[in-house]
Amino acid sequence: MLAIYKTTNIFHLGNKMQIFSDEVSLVFLHGFLGSYHDFDKVIKALPVELQSRSHSISLPGHQNNEPANYYDSVNYIKSKLKELGISGDYVLYGYATGGRMAIFYSFLTKDPHIKGLFIESASFGITDEERKIREGRDLMWASQFALKPPETILRNWYNQPRFNGMTEQQKETIIKKRRHQDFKKLAVQFDLTSVARMENFRDRLNELPFPVIYIYGQLDEKFREAAERENSFSNFIPYQIPMASHNVHYFFPNEVAKIISSYANSDSAT
């Protein structure tokens, strides 16, 4: 197993870091292009008692679900939690778009049942100046998803610098896995949940009354910089996974499970 680097001081909850009691559920939110099966290997690597309380939600715009903006996604997540029978405490794990939804959901609902966030390779928001640039870029991507052949746009997508840690064979494998989707819906969903349409929570993390555990790949320069930028918040706990790029959970499920598991006991995470 690779070493995992924790790059900040511990968030102080007395002398303990436990966020999973015997009753706390864990809910995974996948990223754009993904599915609720993306976390199967992570869940399988968790302790048995936590596996039984782990769930994955299929997000709007994916797996026959209708697209939804951030606000409607909040109601969508609420309905899914109800369907899963989760009425007590829970922790959200969100990757990329799923991470942004988890952040938005937490700030908007202020649900006292949320006991922590695991955010993988996701933005907490951008400045107004950055927003103008991002709007144009994301509109271009949305147009490509709507108009170009699936394999072409997927190849363009996974050739972004954030995926530099993937081999060509790995890229081809994931392209084959992702190509059988409704790309018209995906285009709409991409536009609706662009980071350019998300409120900027970057300077507000200390408003959240629970730890925000941030997982990112060593080779993903953009989100490595994000981790360094947010590191001043006492409830922000970043973990760097060596040799990983953007989609850490996909290629390093055991390392992700190890981080999650470390918050399921009474000792501080290491």
Residue 10 has pLDDT above 60, yes or no: no
* Per-residue model confidence as pLDDT tens digits over 202-241: 999 999 999 999 999 999 999 999 999 888 899 999 999 9
Residue 101 has pLDDT above 80, yes or no: yes
pLDDT score of 212: 97
> Domain limits of the chain?
23-125+198-261
The least confident of 12-16, 143-147, 266-270 is: 12-16
DSSP 117: E
Q: For 68-90, what is the mean pLDDT?
A: 97
Nearest alpha carbon to residue 63 among 38, 92, 81: 38
Residue 266 has pLDDT above 50, yes or no: no
pLDDT score of 14: 35
What is the helix (H) or strand (E) element at residue 217, kind and residue range?
strand 212-217
Q: Are 195 and 126 in contact (CB under 8 A)?
A: yes
* Per-residue model confidence as pLDDT tens digits over 12-62: 333 346 798 888 999 999 999 999 999 999 999 999 999 999 999 999 999
pLDDT score of 22: 81
CA distances from 2 to 143, 224, 242 (A): 39, 18, 7
Residue 146 has pLDDT above 70, yes or no: yes
Measured between alpha carbons, how far is 115 from 250 in angstroms, rounded to an integer? Answer: 25
Spacing of C-alpha 96 from chain mean position: 4
B/e letters for 6-35, b = 16+ CB within 10 Å, e = fewer, are bebeebeeeeebbbbeeebbbbbbbbbbbb
* Per-residue model confidence as pLDDT tens digits over 244-262: 999 999 999 999 999 999 9
Q: Which amino acid is at 215?
A: I
What tokens does 230 get? 């947010």
Measured between alpha carbons, how far is 117 from 103 in angstroms, rounded to an integer? Answer: 8
The CATH superfamily holding the domain 23-125+198-261 is Alpha/Beta hydrolase fold, catalytic domain (3.40.50.1820)
* Per-residue confidence band for 6, with pLDDT thresholds at 50, 70 and 90: low
Residue 8 has pLDDT above 50, yes or no: no
Residue 197 phi, psi (nearest 5): -100, 5
Number of H helices, E strands in the chain: 11, 7
Q: Are 211 and 116 in contact (CB under 8 A)?
A: yes
* Per-residue confidence band for 4, with pLDDT thresholds at 50, 70 and 90: low
Residue 267 has pLDDT above 80, yes or no: no
